[in-house]
Chains A and B, each alone.
Chain A
């Protein structure tokens, strides 16, 4: 018999595993969230820990990210990208928001030692560490604001440990495009350091 083309075919082909997992999430199957956590929990916590530099904060961010996946499953669309990149991007955005919030708290209560208890490993260190910490936040803020196509490649290459070729295959784009996006992204980040915008820590959350 003649094969039929199912409804809803689109340009990028979603992975069967993502489609199945998302379907189970939408229809209220708890085991799907457990499975998503088993596969992507490490990545999400890793991204959050890299940005927040705090295991406690990373746990909070991971909880928020998986709560979002479970309680608002329609926010993810398997036809628009992989669950891996979606979760990684969300974890990063939430983690940057968390650090900005902490930075604001610290600024408002800079003389107040008790404020530092909220971030266990953020105690005053050598000057160099403090400067590096601020630069890291500046860079992660800039990263969170890159156009999504660039961010996706950076996330796969940097956080998920993919080569640019693997990232290209995963995103369904030519290898040359992945290379170019990484280059444009990293140059933008390097420039954000050379020419920092308004005091970065103050910028809108």
Chain B
């Protein structure tokens, strides 16, 4: 490349003041001896000068202006409420779904997951949160379902979701959103959401007896997974929960997976990238295999958003033992 071509190439960057010093020094001598480059340089520099505009003579911004801008910007959306650590993932997940609601305007009929559209997905969350809400003394917002004594919990849950979706489909999506949102706010305002000690008492929900604190984590899990479903349906990327919250979801899911596998399953050393290692299955035998999953992928597997075959993994050792863990995780079918 000649000097001429090289400098010609740099002129726009030069005019914008975007050349490193060494290259800037190479431009000037060439302009002095090349008429066409010099004319082009003048034209481009003049364009940038005009882009700069005439000098401003306005008064500089007040020092308090920054605080004003921030305060007014923050007013456009409520922050996640302050709650005890066990309820923080749910508070964050609710904030994350609330932030997605404006993007759902005009898209309520979009197919999302199962045979649900966006409206039905919100209705399902209204139904799913209701179980914990009722347990904590919050009144149901949708007329009660007729569910016979002794119905298996899965059937009772499915039935309630079906009823609530049918009920909500007869209403405006805005009304469903308002009820979901109000119920979530009520849950986060309960003493159990703010006091770890109160939340330590166990209660039976979803067929599992767990401390109320853990049921809050389960609510976070489901809210995030369905927000992710809604995001996918709209072509929007929903980031996974903040690391600390993700850790809480993973630890609970691993515990429940351990219970599901039982004490006699072939033992597998299970690790989560970025933190956490457990031996799942029998404690009396040597470990047969190692399995490592990304925390988000593990949650998506437990949430039924990955099949055991498709989930990205690192694995070594006995393939059957690994498969057993992956299939049990997928079979938790939490949501």
**A residues bordering B, Cβ < 8 Å?**
1-8, 19, 22-24, 26-30, 33-34, 37, 41, 45, 49-50, 53-56, 58-59, 62-63, 66-67, 69-74, 77-79, 120-121, 125, 128-129, 132-133, 135-136, 139-140, 143, 154, 157-158, 161-165, 167, 179, 182-183, 185-187, 189-190, 193
**26 pairs from A and B in contact (CB 8 Å cutoff):** A2-B315, A3-B314, A4-B312, A4-B313, A7-B297, A7-B312, A23-B240, A26-B95, A26-B99, A27-B80, A27-B95, A28-B78, A29-B242, A53-B56, A54-B56, A66-B70, A70-B74, A74-B236, A121-B57, A132-B50, A136-B54, A157-B17, A157-B18, A164-B18, A164-B19, A190-B46
Contact A179 B79 (CB under 8 A): no
Distance A34 CA – B275 CA, assembled complex (angstroms):
29
Contact A157 B16 (CB under 8 A): yes
Contact A183 B9 (CB under 8 A): yes
Distance A111 CA – B330 CA, assembled complex (angstroms):
72
Of B61-69, B106-114, B142-150, B173-181, which stretch is located at the interface?
B61-69
Contact A50 B58 (CB under 8 A): no
Contact A4 B80 (CB under 8 A): no
Q: Is the interface of A mostly helix, strand, loop or mixed?
A: helix
**Nearest-Cβ distance from residue A79 to partner chain B, whole angstroms:** 6
Q: Across the interface, which residues of A come within 8 angstroms of B237, CB to CB?
A: 8, 74, 77-79
Q: Is B266 an interface residue (CB 8 A)?
A: no
Q: Is B25 an interface residue (CB 8 A)?
A: no
Distance A188 CA – B181 CA, assembled complex (angstroms):
49
Distance A154 CA – B290 CA, assembled complex (angstroms):
50
Contact B239 A19 (CB under 8 A): yes
Contact A71 B102 (CB under 8 A): yes
Q: A50-B52, A59-B69 are in contact. Are A22 and B58 (CB under 8 A)?
A: no
Cβ 8 A contact of A183, one of B12, B102, B236, B242: B12
Distance A26 CA – B314 CA, assembled complex (angstroms):
30
Q: Is B324 an interface residue (CB 8 A)?
A: no
Q: Is B233 an interface residue (CB 8 A)?
A: no
**Nearest-Cβ distance from residue B315 to partner chain A, whole angstroms:** 7
Q: Across the interface, which residues of A come within 8 angstroms of B73, CB to CB?
A: 33, 37, 63, 66-67, 69-70
Q: Across the interface, which residues of B come within 8 angstroms of A30, CB to CB?
A: 74, 79
Q: Is B241 an interface residue (CB 8 A)?
A: yes
Q: Across the interface, which residues of B come within 8 angstroms of A187, CB to CB?
A: 12, 44
Q: Across the interface, which residues of B come within 8 angstroms of A2, CB to CB?
A: 292, 314-316
Contact A50 B53 (CB under 8 A): yes
- The B184-229 residues at the A interface (CB cut-off 8 A) are none
Interface centre among A45, A158, A161 (most CB of B within 10 A): A158
Cβ 8 A contact of A29, one of B54, B79, B238: B79
Q: Is B166 an interface residue (CB 8 A)?
A: no
Q: Is B37 an interface residue (CB 8 A)?
A: no
Contact string, B296-314, partner A, CB cutoff 8 A, digits 1/0? 1100100000000000111
Contact A37 B66 (CB under 8 A): yes
Distance A8 CA – B240 CA, assembled complex (angstroms):
11
Q: A28-B92, A29-B80, A189-B47 are in contact. Are A182 and B74 (CB under 8 A)?
A: no
**Nearest-Cβ distance from residue B270 to partner chain A, whole angstroms:** 11
Residue of B with least CB distance to A5:
B312
- The B7-31 residues at the A interface (CB cut-off 8 A) are 9-13, 15-20
Q: Across the interface, which residues of B come within 8 angstroms of A55, CB to CB?
A: 56, 58-61, 65
Q: Is B118 an interface residue (CB 8 A)?
A: no
Q: Is B294 an interface residue (CB 8 A)?
A: yes
Contact A6 B20 (CB under 8 A): no
Distance A50 CA – B50 CA, assembled complex (angstroms):
11
Q: Is B48 an interface residue (CB 8 A)?
A: yes
Q: A1-B271, A27-B241, A67-B73 are in contact. Are A140 and B315 (CB under 8 A)?
A: no
Distance A138 CA – B314 CA, assembled complex (angstroms):
56
**Nearest-Cβ distance from residue B19 to partner chain A, whole angstroms:** 6
Q: Across the interface, which residues of A come within 8 angstroms of B75, CB to CB?
A: 67
Contact A1 B290 (CB under 8 A): yes
Contact B80 A1 (CB under 8 A): no
**Nearest-Cβ distance from residue A143 to partner chain B, whole angstroms:** 7
Distance A121 CA – B78 CA, assembled complex (angstroms):
36
Q: A26-B96, A67-B72 are in contact. Are A163 and B12 (CB under 8 A)?
A: no
